[in-house]
Amino acid sequence: MATRAQQREQSAADALAALGNRTRLRVFKLLVRAGPQGTNIGTIQRLLGVPATTLGHHLGTLAAAGLVSQDRRGREVICTANFKAIGEVLAYVKEECCAGVTFDEGSRAA
């Protein structure tokens, strides 16, 4: 059984891997900007110019990583960003990867 630290690490890895694709990053960015009310799949498809089957694949990957939820509301499927999940990923990166690191403009990691 995985420890809490291992589970947290795996969740961060899954989320970062999901966001490592340009189309998925664009979808996630659009959903974050849409806010907690989210937006429907047709709007995402229209705004990003992504074919329906491709969009479905990318939304499935984001949902599996816990970054997006999909809810049927009547005839629409509304997608929303999981703000809590991305907050946890960012906190993990800051605490576990960047602890003690000072980022100055123009500086680079060794």
pLDDT in tens, the chain (110 residues): 889 989 999 999 999 999 999 999 999 999 999 999 999 999 999 999 999 999 999 999 999 999 999 999 999 999 999 999 999 999 999 998 887 777 776 666 55
Residue 109 has what pLDDT?
A: 58
Which domains does the chain show, CATH number per domain?
8-96 (1.10.10.10)
Residue 23 has what pLDDT?
A: 98
**What is the reported pTM?**
0.86
Tell me the CA distances in angstroms from 34 to 27, 28, 29, 45, 108, one per residue in order. 11, 10, 9, 14, 34
Residue 10 has what pLDDT?
A: 95
